[in-house]
Structure 1
Amino acid sequence: MAQHSHSGEVEYYKAIDWNRLEDALDKQTWEKLTSQFWLDTRVPVSNDLADWRSLTEIEQEVINHAFVGLTLLDTLQSEEGANVMREDIRSQHEEAVLNNILFMESVHAKSYSTIFISLNDSKKIDEIFAWGNQQPQLQYKAKVINEIYQSGTALQKKIASVFLESFLFYSGFYAPLWYLGNAKLENVAEIIKLIIRDESVHGTYLGYKFQLAFRELSQTEQKELENWMYLLLNDLMTKEEAFAHIVYDAIGWTKEVKVFMRYNANKALQNLGFPPLYADGIAERVNPIVMNGLSTNTSNHDFFSQVGSGYLMGEVEAMNEEDYDF
């Protein structure tokens, strides 16, 4: 990939130089992501077996269906999402960050299999994956996002990716956060917290890159893209609500999951530089048990900032609110 050089011409291929940065945020994000590195195999999920066996079959099914939905979306993100972004990079350093994101999405997708095998037998796991691979609302979400990845513009791809990372995952995250808040499945939730910590950086980083390019558009182009974005969000929200009914109706959580989804849709819009779409005060309406499942600080401290406490590979620095002020 020959690119413009600050120090002389490039004959054929340009070596990446981390000492000359076009955007300091590339290096900051690289350092943040690499300091957060983790692997599913270091979290003792099988220690949650007693909790798992104490759940009803309906509760187990809710979690299994939520997690296969997450597996599918993370698989899409690892195979297509971060990959197609590399066609539109602004710097070599951005490509390096995307390489990290790509790999960690594969770790996330694999993590759900670690959870499944720790808690279910093989026959049950086959049933779970068969359900997810044919579930219409889930497959629709994957199809909509992937079609944008394959044929959308550079900025449409970033919108789709931020919606996936900052919004669509969260209906699946609700169940483990709820159980964590009720002192159950703590190791399963530890993996989810580690995934959320990664996704919050991915969403803010791609949102920042989106904003840089969005500012370069004409006002007319900006308005067209904004209209397209809201149509996409409404379409995804409709399907997400239908999926929430299928997953959560059996235990009566659907209404509160929908509130959580809207809260995270607002987060996605914020990452892209747009005002919230859903009602003011929605954060206060999210089930406090779910918020507290991740938040150990004051009640107004956003749970995106939290770090996993039980990860065994060593302590990593907590995310701070200012880490997201790009």
Structure 2
Amino acid sequence: MEHIQKNSYVAINWNNIEDELDKATWEKLTQQFWLDTRVPISNDLRNWRDTSAEEKKVLNLVFGGLTTLDTLQSQDGMAELKKDAVNQKEEAVLNNIQFMESVHAKSYSSIFETLNDKAEIEAVFEWADNDEYLQYKAQRINDIYHNGTPLQKKVASVFLETFLFYSGFYTPLYFVGHNKMLNVAEIIKLIIRDESVHGTYIGYKFQIGFNQLSEDEQSELQSWMYDLLFELYENEEKFTHELYDEIGWTDSVMTFLRYNANKALMNLGQEPMFPDGAEDVNPVVMNGISTSTANHDFFSGVGNGYLIGEVEAMADDDYDIGLDKQ
């Protein structure tokens, strides 16, 4: 953080940029700003009524789990990462991310409110607050946020946003690939687009710190990182069986998870852990994961996608600014 002189409160100066990626990420995030209230979720009610009871149950539970994890990110994750910000602009970007994580968590409540009655909603939240595997990953990540090193916190955040969320994202992406629940899926695609930027940005910040470590320190941190990923993967496998065995999607979801675990490692500048690539993932889901959106008129609420939603998530080459020279 910039040096603060005694008796002086330093105003943030966006004309003095220490890291161009802070400015680029701020602009990207503000360009793609959205709110759930502008997506006409009620247009999916006919699809919802025609959905099987088993698939309704899965969709409700995955959204309950995602609400838990986005709450963790907004209440604890970004607050802890901000403590390690190296300049005021980075802290401002993390403020933006923290707010959007709250928007994500609130969006699931909008979906619940539209599709379910009060008793059904309360049952989902009761399940989320007590499910063994969901609570394990939430508490494991939260423990790192509060007790880990600055670099360990960044690893936990990237693993959460680029890996652990995706057991939940699979279901709405599968539905939209079959032309169902299109507006619910629009919200999920907007969330995925945000998470793409969040994971890449925080991974970039991790790489800066990682490159400043000695070889022994890097090796020690890498061992911790891969051990953590495998631990989370084992728990996620149990969670996925719990959610998807009844409808027979478990194997396909696990492939999707391994693919995204590799993406998380790549965000951190590390080598993939699993052999699974994009070609192994259900093509219906891969088509749905595209971060492009439909065209909503943000100001009038007309349509079924955001005009500002046309902004794309940051690509890998957006971050190619000579990181190896840091």
TM score, norm. by length of structure 2: 0.93
Residue 12 of structure 1, CA deviation? 2.1
What is aligned with 2:301? none
Change in 2 beyond 3 A, CA 1:10/1:212: farther
Structure 1 residues 135-187: Cα deviation after superposition (integer angstroms, max 9, x where no partner)? 00000000100000010000000000000010000000000000000000000
Residue 12 of structure 2 is aligned to residue 13 of structure 1: no
RMSD across aligned positions (CA): 1.4
Residue 312 of structure 2 is aligned to residue 318 of structure 1: yes
Count of residue pairs brought into register by the alignment: 311
- Identity fraction in percent: 59
Could you tell me which of 274, 277, 283 is aligned with 1:282? 277
Residue 214 of structure 2 is aligned to residue 218 of structure 1: yes
Moved over 6 A (4+): none
Residue 320 of structure 1, CA deviation? 5.7
Could you tell me which of 130, 137, 147 is aligned with 1:134? 130
User: What amino acid does structure 2 have at the position aligned with 1:16?
Assistant: I
Residue 307 of structure 1, CA deviation? 2.2
Contact 1:190 1:311 in 2 (8 A): no
What secondary structure is seen at the aligned counterpart in 2 of 1:88? coil
Output aligned runs, 1:1-326, within 5 Å: 3-4=2-3, 11-279=7-275, 282-294=277-289, 303=290, 306-313=291-298, 314-316=306-308, 317-319=311-313, 321=315, 322-325=317-320
Residue 308 of structure 1, CA deviation? 1.6
User: What amino acid does structure 2 have at the position aligned with 1:290?
Assistant: V
User: What amino acid does structure 1 have at the position aligned with 2:48?
Assistant: W
User: What amino acid does structure 1 have at the position aligned with 2:278?
Assistant: A
Contact 2:240 2:254 in 1 (8 A): yes
- Cα distance in 1 for partners of 2:314, 2:198 equals 15
What secondary structure is seen at the aligned counterpart in 2 of 1:156? helix
Contact 1:190 1:310 in 2 (8 A): no
Residue 319 of structure 1, CA deviation? 3.3
Change in 2 beyond 3 A, CA 1:202/1:115: same
- Cα distance in 2 for partners of 1:67, 1:92 equals 34
User: What amino acid does structure 2 have at the position aligned with 1:144?
Assistant: R
Structure 1 residues 236-278: Cα deviation after superposition (integer angstroms, max 9, x where no partner)? 0001110000111110000000000000000000000001111
Structure 1 residues 98-129: Cα deviation after superposition (integer angstroms, max 9, x where no partner)? 00000000000000000111100011000011
User: What amino acid does structure 1 have at the position aligned with 2:79?
Assistant: N
- Cα distance in 2 for partners of 1:34, 1:273 equals 26
Residue 4 of structure 1, CA deviation? 2.7
Residue 283 of structure 1, CA deviation? 1.3
What residue ranges of structure 1 are gaps of 5+ in the alignment?
295-302
What is aligned with 1:298? none
- Cα distance in 2 for partners of 1:324, 1:64 equals 36
Residue 13 of structure 1, CA deviation? 1.6
User: What amino acid does structure 1 have at the position aligned with 2:279?
Assistant: E
